[in-house]
Amino acid sequence: MTETFCDYILAQGYPTGVYLNKDYVNRVYGKDIVNKYDIWYEDHTHAEPNYSCLYYQTDWYGKVAGVATNVDID
């Protein structure tokens, strides 16, 4: 479904990408998806991403004044 959706969006002339982590690369998508689309990659255990990505999320425990819950600040 992800690949069909992303291919459709690209065919319409819009950029698209996939949010994933190491588990999703290994278990769900495979490395073909990483090479085909822009990636927002989440990995809070490494200082550098394992894959080429447009965005790299390393933490979701940040604090922002006025927000009661943890937030992604990178």
What pLDDT digit, counting tens, does each position of 18-55 carry?
999 888 888 998 888 889 999 999 888 777 887 888 98
**Model pTM above 0.75:** no
Overall residue count recorded for the chain in this entry = 74
Task: Output phi, psi for 50, to 5 deg.
Answer: -75, -20
Query: Any long-range contacts for 45-53 (C-beta under 8 Å, 24+ apart)?
Result: 50/22, 50/25, 51/25
Specify burial of residue 64 (Cβ count, 10 A radius: 0-12, 13-18, 19+).
exposed
Give the residue from 20, 46, 57, 47 showing the smallest Cα distance to 35.
Answer: 20
Q: Band of the pLDDT at 10, cuts 50, 70, 90?
A: very high
Residue 14 has pLDDT above 90, yes or no: yes
